[in-house]
Amino acid sequence: MHIDERELGFATRQLHAGKAGDDTHGARATPIYLTAGFEFEGLDDGRARFDGTSDGYSYTRVANPTNAAVERRIAALEGGAGALLVSTGQAATTTAVLALAAAGDHIVSSAHAYEGTRELLRDNLGRLGITVDFVADTRNPDAWAAAIRPETRLVFAESIANPRNQVLDVRLVADVAHRHGLPLVIDNTLASPFLLRPIEHGADVVVHSASKFLAGHGTVLGGVVVDGGWFDWASSAGRYPQLTEQRGADGRTPVERSGSNALLDYARSVAMRFGPAPSPLNAFLILQGVETLSLRVRQHSASALEIARWLAAQPGVESVDYSGLASHPDHDLAVRYLPDGFGSVFSFTLRGGLAAADAFTRALRLFTHMTHLGDSRSLVLHPGTTTHALRTDDERDAAGIGPGLLRLSIGLEDAPDLIADLANALEAVAAAIPGFVDGPPAAPAGGVPADAVAEAAA
Q: Which residues of the chain form contacts with ligand PLP (CB under 6 A)? A: 88-90, 114, 116-117, 158, 187, 189-190, 209, 211-212, 221, 223, 373
Nearer to ligand PLP, 116 or 353 (CB): 116
8 Å CB contact between 276 and 319: no
* Smallest distance, ligand PLP to C-beta of residue 430, A: 32
Nearer to ligand PLP, 69 or 215 (CB): 215
Beta-strand relationship, 317-321 and 345-350: antiparallel
Nearer to ligand PLP, 98 or 190 (CB): 190
Sequence-separated (6 or more) residues with CB below 8 Å from residue 453:
305, 309, 324, 325, 326
What's phi and psi for 138, nearest 5 deg? -70, -10
Name the 3-class secondary structure at 34: coil
Distance, in Å, from the CA atom of 418 to the CA atom of 137, rounded to the nearest integer, reads 34
What's phi and psi for 20, nearest 5 deg? -100, 110
Nearer to ligand PLP, 67 or 314 (CB): 67
Nearer to ligand PLP, 222 or 352 (CB): 222
Distance, in Å, from the CA atom of 129 to the CA atom of 106, rounded to the nearest integer, reads 9
3-class secondary structure per residue, 151-175: CEEEEEEECECCCCCCECCHHHHHH
DSSP 37: B
8 Å CB contact between 384 and 403: yes
* Smallest distance, ligand PLP to C-beta of residue 85, A: 12
* Smallest distance, ligand PLP to C-beta of residue 393, A: 24
Residue among 420, 20, 418, 70 nearest 277 (CA)? 70
* Smallest distance, ligand PLP to C-beta of residue 229, A: 22
Nearer to ligand PLP, 88 or 253 (CB): 88
Nearer to ligand PLP, 96 or 429 (CB): 96
Residue among 441, 162, 446 nearest 318 (CA)? 441
* Residue count of the chain: 458
Nearer to ligand PLP, 379 or 433 (CB): 379
Nearer to ligand PLP, 75 or 373 (CB): 373
* Smallest distance, ligand PLP to C-beta of residue 358, A: 24
DSSP 345-409: EEEEEETTHHHHHHHHHHH-SSSEESS--S-SS-EEE-GGGTTTTTS-HHHHHHTT--TTEEEEE
* Smallest distance, ligand PLP to C-beta of residue 245, A: 31
Nearer to ligand PLP, 52 or 89 (CB): 89
* Smallest distance, ligand PLP to C-beta of residue 88, A: 3
Distance, in Å, from the CA atom of 243 to the CA atom of 260, rounded to the nearest integer, reads 11
* DSSP E strand stretches across 204-351: 205-209, 223-227, 317-321, 345-350
* Smallest distance, ligand PLP to C-beta of residue 407, A: 11
Residue of minimal CB distance from ligand PLP? Answer: 89
* Smallest distance, ligand PLP to C-beta of residue 210, A: 7
* Smallest distance, ligand PLP to C-beta of residue 87, A: 8
CB atoms within 10 A of CB 64: 27
